[in-house]
């Protein structure tokens, strides 16, 4: 059964790449043996650096299931998820992930996944992109208000 869904993700990656819709990445979200979300890379066609296959598949599955959590679902993706997609997988609470190519395979054909994995492991001051904290006391006010909010939906 796992191979069937992995092949669906790989087939999607090849089909959409050949159609000129983006890079060679596809993903499907599966719940109870049924595909509930499909996604493919749309970074260049949507001019959106977050339009990765996994993100698109998660968004479609959440829409269809009317939930922001996918804890009964698995993700099949044609390549090991990048750090952004991995974070989305955790936020969505997906049960498990199956992948085809590795991040090193992606690096060999020009994708940044492995570089970004190495970057985020560095201390903030050693990263190539500069991060500066500003106005923390003002920003904390929103957090304090959230703590007191009686009708919040925790996630």
Q: Which residues are catalytic?
A: 54
Q: Cα-flanking dihedrals φ and ψ of residue 73, to 5°?
A: -115, 155
Single out the residue of 26, 38, 30, 39 nearest to residue 72, CA to CA. 30
C-beta separation of 21 from 15 below 8 A: no
Helix segments in the chain, DSSP class H: 2-18, 43-46, 53-65, 83-92, 103-108, 113-121, 136-148
């Amino acid at each position: 059964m796992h191979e069937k869904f992995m092949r669906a993700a790989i087939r999607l990656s090849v089909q959409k790449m050949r159609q000129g819709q983006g890079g060679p990445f596809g993903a499907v979200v599966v719940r109870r043996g049924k595909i509930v979300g499909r996604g493919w890379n749309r970074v260049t066609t949507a001019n959106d650096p977050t339009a990765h296959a996994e993100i698109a598949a998660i968004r479609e599955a959440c829409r269809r299931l009317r939930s922001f959590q996918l804890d009964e679902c698995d993700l099949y993706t044609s390549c090991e998820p990048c750090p952004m997609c991995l974070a989305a997988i955790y936020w969505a609470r997906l049960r498990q992930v199956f992948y085809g190519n590795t991040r090193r395979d992606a690096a060999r054909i020009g994708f940044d996944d492995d570089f970004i994995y190495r970057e985020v492991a560095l201390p903030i001051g050693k990263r190539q992109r500069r991060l500066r904290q500003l106005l923390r006391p003002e920003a904390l006010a929103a957090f304090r208000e959230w703590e007191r909010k009686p009708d919040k939906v925790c996630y």
